[in-house]
Amino acid sequence: MILTIIEEPADILRQKTQDIAEITPDILQLMDDMYETMKHSDGVGIAAPQVNENVSVALVQLDDEDELFEMINPVITEVEGSDIFVEGCLSIPHVFGTVDRKTRIVVEYYNRQGEFIRLEAYDYLARAIQHEIDHLNGVLFTDKMIEEIKEEDLESYYEKYESEMNADD
Ligand code: CO
């Protein structure tokens, strides 16, 4: 079921979420619904507060063919490096801006089978996970935004970023 995405301003987006003590059928259903909602909105990540649930669950999938990470009670345990890049958020439509994020993280969480997972993530995957875990702590990317990028300037921002990347090679 596609759920309604809560948009800023909303108290639920500003609360620290509750850890999940037991993976119940309701939690599995929530994860399925969050996935459907994320895909429907063309998002690369979604956190439970964005669908009005105050629990520590976040999903990240960068592309349809990429691995889906379903994270219960995720905690970042190691960080390294830093990179500034543009972000947006399903809960803050039409706002985009640059955020400084770690380029390598280790995140520990439980998957839907209740297995403990220790994931090492880099670059854009690491960025997306940091963005979603911020949601679980009531933090929005706009709190950390360095510079707002107007929606009509996004394409030229990406082009400039790519040409700088190529120049580094
Ligand atoms: Co977001």
pLDDT digits (tens, 9 = 90+) for 10-49: 999 999 999 999 999 999 999 999 999 999 999 999 999 9
122-156 burial string, b = 16+ CB within 10 Å, else e? eeebbbbbbbbbbbbebbbbbebbeeebeeeeeee
Residue ranges near ligand 1 (ion) with Cβ within 5 Å? 89
Question: DSSP state, 18?
Answer: B
Q: Separation of 25 CA from ligand 1 center, angstroms? A: 25
Give the pLDDT band (50/70/90) at residue 141.
Answer: very high
What the chain holds in terms of domains, given with CATH numbers, is 11-168 (3.90.45.10)
Q: Separation of 161 CA from ligand 1 center, angstroms? A: 22
Give the pLDDT band (50/70/90) at residue 169.
Answer: low
What's the whole-model pTM score?
Answer: 0.96
Give the pLDDT band (50/70/90) at residue 161.
Answer: confident
